[in-house]
Amino acid sequence: MSTYLFVIFISFILNFVLIVPFINFLYKKKFQRATQRTKDAFNKPTPIFDKFHQHKKGTPVGGGILISLITVFLFFLFLFLYFLFDKQIISNYPSVVAEIKILIFTFLSFGFLGIYDDLNKIFLWQKSQFFGLRLRHKLIIEIFLGLVISYWLFTDFKIDIIHIPFVGVFEISWLYILFSTFVIVAFANAVNITDGLDGLASGVLLFSLMSFWVISRSILDVPTSLFIATWLGGLIAFLYFNIYPARIFLGDTGALAFGATFAVIGLILGKAFALPIIGGVFVVEIASSLIQLLGKRFLGRKIFPVAPFHLWLQLKGWEEPKIVMRFWIIAILFAVFGLMVAFGK
């Protein structure tokens, strides 16, 4: 345990030392959201969102880039030290390399998709597009990446079951590929949607990841435990600068990569059923947005005054820090309950 706590501390220190120069670098390169005039999935203006987020104009976007780079660097560095000092790397699967491959590919592939979308949003390469990439194009790429990752989970790890605590284990064969793809894409977008208030997504993710870290340590899975530890240190350092009023945002680079990898960790640990509970806040956020989207598409009207849920609370008059802090508390409760379910027989 002390090794992983050391990893968290080193990751925190390195991220904390580099993040201020990185913020200055983003300002210098004008890596900032130039406007808060956004559009929804139907290419219509979102005046309510713009009203509550206009003051965020000019804040650097790209915190996810720094966390991702340092997390990957430290992850491989500590793996190398494990080999150097001949420490055993225990995995719950036959191939340690395959586990590392899936974690890193998810982290980086969704991150590259996110950074491309961030660049489009910031520099407005194609103004006619929805928030950077067209929504359908972005979704197609996410599904493709999710299918690749899910195929590896199915073939490399031979995962084709879903364990429902207190009920039983169900074998679903190749349908697992479709199931896990849906889970990965859903959480990638859920974290992206949640990342709308200062400290909201990063704080919720921090508490949720801690639950998966507890689970990975309980089953002695070294690669996943080590990866989560390096990631947690970066998130803690980032959150220090992301709380209200934020000096830096995750951007799609971080939100997409972090959401997809969060889902993959849950799948690798065999906790598909506990995943939506541990990440309950993200589920509520994306569910409210999806219901709103379906209402507009099939009923021609809004189901809620505004979505996602945190924006509706702003419309009701709740102050931003109040919403974030209460969501953190709810995230802790979800994480604790999710752990209880995860350890259920």
Query: Exposed (0-12), middle (13-18) or buried (19+): which is 46, by Cβ within 10 Å?
Result: middle
User: How many structural domains are present in the chain?
Assistant: 1
Question: Which DSSP category does 246 fall into?
Answer: P
pLDDT per residue rounded down to tens, the chain (345 residues): 788 999 999 999 999 999 999 999 999 888 876 655 565 554 555 666 666 667 678 889 889 999 999 999 999 999 999 999 888 888 888 889 999 999 999 999 999 999 988 887 776 554 444 444 567 788 999 999 999 999 999 999 988 888 777 777 788 899 999 999 999 999 999 999 999 899 999 999 999 999 999 999 999 899 999 999 999 999 999 999 999 999 999 989 999 999 999 999 999 999 999 999 999 999 999 999 999 988 988 888 888 888 899 999 999 999 999 999 999 999 999 999 999 988 876
The CA distance from 134 to 119, in Å, is 14
Whether 196 is covered by a domain: the verdict is yes
pLDDT of residue 44: 59
Whether 231 is covered by a domain: the verdict is yes
Q: How many other C-beta atoms can be found within 10 angstroms of the C-beta atom of residue 287?
A: 17
Alpha helices in 156-297 (DSSP H): 175-194, 200-218, 222-242, 251-268, 275-278, 280-294
316 to each of 52, 142, 183, 311, 329, how far by Cα in Å?
12, 33, 31, 9, 20
Query: Exposed (0-12), middle (13-18) or buried (19+): which is 216, by Cβ within 10 Å?
Result: buried
Q: Is residue 252 part of an annotated ligand binding site?
A: yes
Report whether 223 contacts 91 (CB < 8 A): yes
94 cis-preceded (ω within 30 degrees of 0): no
In the numeric block, the tokens 């995943």 are attached to 275
The CA distance from 313 to 52, in Å, is 11
Report whether 191 contacts 201 (CB < 8 A): yes
DSSP string, 7-23: HHHHHHHHHHHHHHHHH
Whether 175 is covered by a domain: the verdict is yes
pLDDT of residue 129: 45
What is residue 130's three-state secondary structure?
A: coil
Whether 62 is covered by a domain: the verdict is yes
pLDDT of residue 37: 54
What is residue 109's three-state secondary structure?
A: helix
Q: How many CA atoms lie within 13 A of 105 on its CB side?
A: 19
Bridge-based pairing state of the strands 168-171 and 161-164: antiparallel
pLDDT of residue 38: 61
Query: Computed over its alpha carbons, how large is the radius of gyration of the chain?
Result: 19
Helix (H) or strand (E) holding 114: helix 96-123
Whether 301 is covered by a domain: the verdict is no
pLDDT of residue 205: 97
pLDDT of residue 90: 87
pLDDT of residue 300: 81
Range of the domain at 187: 2-273
Whether 339 is covered by a domain: the verdict is no
Whether 289 is covered by a domain: the verdict is no
Whether 342 is covered by a domain: the verdict is no
Report whether 215 contacts 271 (CB < 8 A): yes
pTM above 0.85, yes or no: yes
